[in-house]
Amino acid sequence: MNTQLNELRRLLAEIDSLAGSVEVSGFIREARAFAEKARSRTAKAIKLVAELDTQAGPIPEGFALVPLEPTTEMREAFHNSYELYEDGVDECPDDQWKAMIAAALAPGGYVNGS
């Protein structure tokens, strides 16, 4: 991602430089050439920003992507955790947490945005 950010910074600096050149030169032909270069660099910069927006970092070992708010399945798993784990009726928070995470990660247990 740092490579893309550095490239984006370079492109934006080049765009600024081109815009300054157009103002100083005053020649229509040169202005068109500079404008075309600026358009090209802007398009590339926009593409880089879009790529950065869609990239997610790796999930660290021992972590999982789960919803910010508990789903219905997670809430049910929380309440039923004493049946799901070896501890039986023990309502240890760790067991409830494990049950909720398992429910969130189960196929169909969570749909992004729901």
Give per-residue pLDDT as tens, 14-68.
777 766 655 555 566 677 777 788 888 888 888 887 777 676 677 778 777 777 7
Query: Do 48 and 68 belong to one domain?
Result: no
Residue type, 5: L
Query: Do 72 and 88 belong to one domain?
Result: yes
Query: Do 29 and 70 belong to one domain?
Result: no
Query: Do 69 and 33 belong to one domain?
Result: no
Domain residues for the domain of 6 are: 2-54
Q: How far is CA 6 from CA 11, 36, 93, in A?
A: 9, 22, 45
Query: Do 48 and 65 belong to one domain?
Result: no
**pTM exceeds 0.75 for this model:** no
Query: Do 71 and 94 belong to one domain?
Result: yes
Q: What CA–CA distance (Å, rounded) separates 13 from 42?
A: 11
What's the domain count of the chain?
2
Query: Do 71 and 44 belong to one domain?
Result: no
